[in-house]
Amino acid sequence: MPASDMGRDKTWQPAGTPVSSILRIEATGKVARVAKESLDVIDQVHGVGLSAHVAIPIVEGGSFSRPGVFEYYKGGRPVHIELSSRSSTPHIDFTHEVGHFLDHQVIGHPGEYASRAGNAVLSGWREAVEATEAVQRLSDLSEMSRFRVSGPGGGFRYVPVDRMYVRYLLRPQELFARSYAQLVAMESQNADFLTEMAILRATRGGLIKYPAQWRNDDFMAIRESLLRAIMEMKWRK
């Protein structure tokens, strides 16, 4: 099956262990609700084959500025996933952290990020990501000290580039987690996910646009590469 047809051809099914079975919801309230809703969506997109033997809790934590966290010990053993009840895009933020968990514990060697280690199953994803306009723009910004933006009353002004933030966005594991969350949104077409993705991609006047998420057309090659990897790992059948 061509990867470009996978999202439309529903003859496939998630395979192996459901993602929800290796993540225990120990939070309550909004965080518990968002985690359950998100895991229900993820389980419809893929399983995790037969190789996942780790289970970690989901707890409330983080903050408004750091709404989601995947924690692990120095030796690589996972601790938990945190989600803040103050997140403005909670389903995407939670799924982003699930992406970190899968990258670190399920794909490749447990305890290291497969995206950073150069795992072969993600080679197509790596090439696709690096070729996108969004990543090329981030790479350009990483070399700039200032960037010209439109002013609120017309004209323009120069704003300092947060190069530390840009370098963070360009980390392989961050690129993977963001692309994974966007894949789940695109494949599921879930209304909450799509609304939150639109919020994350919105342009705000007078500020530098750091393209953390991809336009739909810029994302297509990433989508196809991730779907190929999912099939290769037998997360779908």
Report percent pLDDT > 70 for the chain: 93
Domain coordinates of the chain in residue numbers? 3-232
Tens digits of residue pLDDT in 79-106: 999 999 999 999 999 999 999 999 999 9
Band the pLDDT of 12: cuts 50, 70, 90. confident
SS (HEC) of 141-204: HCCCCEEEEECCCCCEEEEECCHHHHHHHCCHHHHHHHHHHHHHHHHHCCHHHHHHHHHHHCCC
Q: Are β-strands 56-60 and 78-83 bridged in parallel, bridged antiparallel, or unpaired?
A: parallel
pLDDT reported for residue 10: 62
- This prediction has a pTM of 0.92
Average pLDDT, the chain: 92
With CA atoms as reference, report the closest residue to 55 among 87, 80, 30, 29. Answer: 80
Contact indicator for 203, 209 with CB cutoff of 8 Å: yes
pLDDT reported for residue 206: 66
